[in-house]
Amino acid sequence: MKRTRLATAVAAAVVALLPTTASADVTYPDPQPITGQQIIHDPTVIRLASGGYVAYSTGGVIGARVSRDKKQWDDAGNAFAAPPAWWYEYNDTGDPWAPDISFRDGRYWLYYAVSSWGTNHSAIGVATSPTGLPGTWIDHGKVFSSERTDAWNAIDPAVLRADGKLWMTFGSYWTGIRMVELDPRTGKALPGASVHHLATRPDAPYAVEGPYIVRHGAYYYLFASYDACCAGVNSTYKIRVGRSTSVTGPYVDSTGKPLLEGGGELLLAGHGRYVGTGGESVFRDRGEDWLAYHYYDAKDNGTPKLGLNKLTWKSGWPGLT
């Protein structure tokens, strides 16, 4: 009897120390409600000068979605009618991954990656468009590439301007997140440019990827996806962030732990039906910052769908609503 009571008491104590599903769920906000074509992977979103929004993503020949109000999204085909011929150097199907859209110098710029699963024989390319809409893109070829002898993987590009220069973050596994300076005229990597190291994990396979940097106040904020993508309801993707006063780092979390030593402030993780939140990007809309990402819908057989949440800023760190 005493052993039974003791065992019961120990079990109760252990359960009390464990986070419940309910308490974990309320930690993170659900994505904003949307309708229409919700299926997406690795979204990049921009508000167009012509009005409305376009989102590009992994899948198809860079799949496109359009919206007038950020709520109803409609399928808009693909950025390109067919893969540019050089893509086939990196996979047999000419399959592009993880695009990034931006606007500068009167044009829209679309960066993307071509690779194949499990290799860092990869390349990042760029295209431009006067309108940002699918079917109007002109491809300009390779921006930067990596080979099996490199310690980085040239996928998951994201571009920003900082300190009068143009930069591109990239990286997936292979010791993590990197950065290289671009030529503003061509949008391609400067010859001989240094490859900066921004974030990694302490152990192989160094599961961090999908970087995106934004500036807010005195800091640059590096968002990245940690852990495992692309496994439906078994995905463990989550979004972490670090900050730095310099665009090239070092980036640290709120405890001061460097992202180069496995640090990272947890911003969003799976909760409830919203599994494996990641593949993120940030876009500006009417003076507000928004986080776009995908999640795997546990109530729809793990289908990847678009998540949108407004970014808030408090005490120098981002939050979500």
Tokens 């990597």 sit at which residue? 189
Answer yes or no: are the C-beta atoms of 212 and 203 closer than 8 Å.
no
Phi first, then psi, for residue 141 (nearest 5°) are 85, -160
- Which of 209, 253, 265, 280 is the catalytic position? 209
Tokens 């961090």 sit at which residue? 208
Catalytic residue list contains 75: no
Residues with Cβ within 8 Å of 31's Cβ and at least 6 positions away in sequence, in order, are 274, 295, 306, 307, 308, 309
Burial of 174 (0-12, 13-18, 19+ CB in 10 A): buried
Cis peptide preceding 130, ω within 30 of 0: no
Catalytic residue list contains 280: no
- Which of 42, 156, 181, 280 is the catalytic position? 42
Alpha helices, H only, 227-316:
none
Distance CA 234, CA 81 (A): 33
- Active site amino acids: 42, 209
